Amino acid sequence: MSKSEKWKKINKSRKERPKLQDYKNWEELPPIPISLPIEGSIGSTGDWRTFRPVIKEGCNQCGICWMYCPEGVIRRKEDGTFEIELEYCKGCGICGKECPSNSIEMIRESDINDG
C-alpha cells in the first residue's frame, strides 16, 4: 500500500478507521503535528537532567525512539542515523526502554566527561 493510500485509510471518519493502526517503522507514520523544543522561561531542560541517552553502535535505524520521545528531541539525520538534541532532553529514558535493539543506553550525567 502506498503512503497516500495508507493516509487516506487513516484519515477516514472515526467509524470507518481501523481500530488498530499497524506501522512497521517511522517512515509509515502519517504526517502528524508536533511541537519542537524551545528554550523555556527557566532555561533548557538538559540543565537539570540526571541521566543522558546515548545511542550505541548496533542501532538499526528503525525510528522507534523518535516515535516515542515525548519531547521530540530525537532527529533523523540525512544519512538515516538518529541523534538526540541533548540541550532539551529531559532524560526520561523512554527512548531506551522502547529501543528494540537495546542501542540506547541511559548514562548518569555525573559519569560523563564532556570537557
DSSP 10-30: HTS-TTTS-SS---SSGGGSP
Cell of 15: 467509524
88 confidence band (pLDDT: 50, 70, 90): confident
State the Cα–Cα distance between residues 17 and 47, nearest whole angstrom. Answer: 42
The residues of the chain that CATH labels 3.30.70.20 are 34-110
Listed in sequence order, the DSSP H helices in 1-115 are 3-10, 64-68, 94-98
Looking at residue 38, what is its pLDDT?
63
Q: By the 8 A CB rule, do 52 and 90 touch?
A: no
pLDDT band at residue 3, thresholds of 50, 70 and 90?
low
Domain 34-110, CATH class in plain words = alpha beta
Q: Could you count the other beta carbons within 10 Å of the beta carbon of residue 86?
A: 17
Copy the grid coordinates of residue 99: 529501543
Secondary structure percentages of the chain, helix, strand, coil, to 5: 25, 15, 60
Query: What tens digit of pLDDT does each residue of 62-75 get?
Result: 999 999 998 889 99
Q: What is the pLDDT of residues 9-63, one digit of tens each?
A: 555 666 766 666 677 776 776 666 566 666 666 666 666 788 999 999 999 999 9
- 111 near 71, Cβ under 8 Å? no
Side-chain-facing half-sphere of 9: CA atoms under 13 Å: 15
For the stretch 98-114, pLDDT in tens is 999 999 999 998 888 76
